[in-house]
Structure 1
Amino acid sequence: MSPARPGTVHALHGFLGSGKTTLARQLEVECGALRFTPDEWTHALLGASPPEALYRPALQALLSLFEVQWTRAAEQGVDVILDYGFWRRADRDALRARCAQHGLPLRLYDLGAPPDVLWGRVSDRNGRVQAGRAPESVWIHEHDFHRFHALFEPLGEDEPHVTPARAVR
C-alpha cells in the first residue's frame, strides 16, 4: 500500500558557509523530515581533515547510498532533506529527473551570500573544528575554498526555487 502522499524532497543549493546545515536542521524539526548531511558522515568516517584522495571517493559512495535511502523514504511519505549544496546544474537536473521519475515533489532552496561573508563563516567554523567543538564539520583550507568557489554554478533563471528569508545575500 502506498502512502496518501509522497514525501517532499527538500534540496539545499548553496556554497560552503551559506547556512545549508543550519537550515537543514531547522527543516528537520519543522517538517519531521529525514536529513542527509554528507559532512557529518564523512567526518565520522574520515575525521575533520581527510585527504582529498580519501574524501572524494567516500563522498561519492555516501551520496549513492543516500540516494537509495532518501528515494525510498520519500516514496513512503517521509519528507527528506538533501544537505548537499548541488553546486552543479547537471546535479540539479539529475535530481529533478529522479524526483519526476518517482513522482516526488521537489523544493529547491537557494542559500547565498557574498564570498567574503561565506569565507568568514567557514573560517569561524574551521576554528570550532580545530578546537573540537564542531564534530560534524570538515575543515576547509582557504585555498580550497576559493578553488571550489570557481566551480560553483548559481541557479539558472529557469530553476524554480525558494529563497529563505534568513539567507544573507
Structure 2
Amino acid sequence: MNMRRGRVHALHGFIGSGKSTLARQLERELPALRFSPDEWTRALLGADPPEELYRPALAGLLRLFQAQWVQAACLGTDVVLDYGFWLRRERDELRTLCAGHGLNLRLYRLQVPDEVLWSRVEARNARVSAGQESGSVWINSWDFQQFQKHFQPLDPDEAYFSPLG
C-alpha cells in the first residue's frame, strides 16, 4: 500500500508578519494540523513569561512538536508549522528532516515593513492585556528590537511560496 505523505507548510517571518493568521487559514482550508508554540507557551507559562522559563519551555515544545508533526505528515496529514524559522540553520535542518522522511516542504515567506510589524504587535499586546487574545504572548518594544537582531531573512537560494499564491 502506497500511502500519500502529508505536506509540511512552514511559515517564515518575524513577529507581527501574519504567521499565525496564515497558519489558521491553512489549517482550515487544506485542512491541516497546526503547530503553534505561542499557544502552548501561553497556556503553560502565561501571557508574559520570564525569559528563564520561556526559552527552555519553547525548546521542549519544539522537540515534542517535531516528533508529532513528522509522524502526522508521514501518515498523510498536512501540517502547518507556525514557528517563524528565523535562522538559516533552522530552515536547513527542516529541509534535511523533510527530505529524510520523503516529505514535501512548502516554505512561505511573510514579509511586511518594520513599522507595520510593530503596529501589529502593539495591537496584539492590547488584546492580550484585555484578555481577548488567548493564543499569544505579550512582547515589549525592547524585546522586539532585540529579537530583530537575530532574524535572518531568506537567502536568494532559498525557494519560497508567497502566502497569496
Shorter chain as normaliser: what TM range? Answer: over 0.9
Letter in 2 for 1:111: L
Using the alignment, how far apart are the partners of 1:113 and 1:51 within structure 2? 28
Q: SS of 1:83's equivalent? A: strand
- Aligned residue for 2:64, secondary structure, equals helix
Alpha-carbon distance in structure 2 between the residues aligned to 1:45 and 1:164: 30
Residue aligning to 2:149: 150
Task: Give the whole-Å Cα distance in 2 for the aligned partners of 1:79 and 1:135.
Answer: 25
1:50 is matched with 49
**Cα RMSD (Å) of the superposition?**
1.0
Q: Tell me the equivalent position of 1:132.
A: 131
1:95 maps to what in 2? 94
What is the identity, as a one-letter code, of the residue corresponding to 1:142?
A: S
What TM-score results when the alignment is normalised by the length of structure 2? Answer: 0.98
Equivalent position SS for 2:76: coil
Runs of 4+ aligned residues of structure 1 deviating over 2 Å after TM superposition are: none
Q: CA offsets per residue over residues 24-67 of structure 1, 9 Å max, x none?
A: 00000111100000000000000000000000000000000000
Equivalent AA in structure 2 for residue 65 of structure 1 = L
Counterpart secondary structure, 1:133? coil
Q: Deviations over 1:82-128 (max 9, x none)?
A: 00000000000000000000000000000011111100000000000
Corresponding position of 1:22: 21
**CA offset at residue 74 of structure 1?**
0.2
Show the 5 A alignment for 1:58-69.
Answer: 58-69=57-68
* Distance in 1 between residues matched to 2:164 and 2:25, nearest whole Å: 13
Which letter does structure 1 place at the counterpart of 2:113? P
2:33 maps to what in 1?
34
| Matched residues, number | 165
Structure 1 residue ranges without an equivalent (≥5) = none
Task: Confirm or deny that 1:78 pairs with 2:77.
Answer: yes
SS of corresponding position for 1:42: helix
SS at structure 1 position matched to 2:6: coil
Contact 1:48-1:139 within 8 A present in 2 as well: yes
Q: Which amino acid in structure 2 is aligned with residue 162 of structure 1?
A: F
Indicate the SS of the match to 1:127. helix
For 1:151, give the aligned amino acid: H
User: Could you state the TM-score of these two structures normalised by the residue count of structure 1?
Assistant: 0.96
CA distance in 1, matches of 2:9, 2:154: 15
Q: Distance in 2 between matches of 1:2 and 1:138?
A: 42
| Contact persistence 1:2–1:76 (CA under 8 A) | no
